[in-house]
Amino acid sequence: MYYFIMLEAMAVLLLVYFLFFLTSYKISISSENLTSYECGFDLISSARNLFSYRFFLISILFLIFDVEIALMLPIPYFSSMVMSMTFLSFLLILIGGLLYEYSYGVLEWL
């Protein structure tokens, strides 16, 4: 009994599979369809000169400073001496990193 139901279910599944296979149509795939779409960029060109190293450094800088500012936001809620010394050391490290990056030439646009 159960064997017959299983065979019927498999037959229906195979029938549906072959119907989808027969009614589907082939899509012609060209080299332009396989590339990703990026606005403003030529599809077929060298990938080496499309990305600016300066933009990469500035974006990394932004992410670092964004995380540091997010870490500094809850500091006014803690008013202990240890927390104020931690905040001061954190701020000095932040300013030292900013001066180092400025001397390295990353921030020439400022």
Q: Of 53, 29, 50, 48, nearest to 39 (Cα)?
A: 50
Q: Does this model's pTM top 0.85?
A: no
Distance CA 77, CA 48 (A): 48
Distances (CA, A) of 16 to 10, 49, 85: 10, 50, 71
Distance of CA 105 to the CA centre of its chain: 26
Q: How does pLDDT run across 6-64, given as a tens digit for each residue?
A: 999 999 999 999 888 888 776 666 666 666 666 665 556 555 656 677 788 788 888 88
Q: How confident is the model at residue 74 (pLDDT cuts 50, 70, 90)?
A: confident
Give the 3-state secondary structure of residue 53.
helix
Name the burial class of residue 42, with classes exposed (0-12), middle (13-18) and buried (19+) by CB atoms within 10 angstroms of its CB. exposed
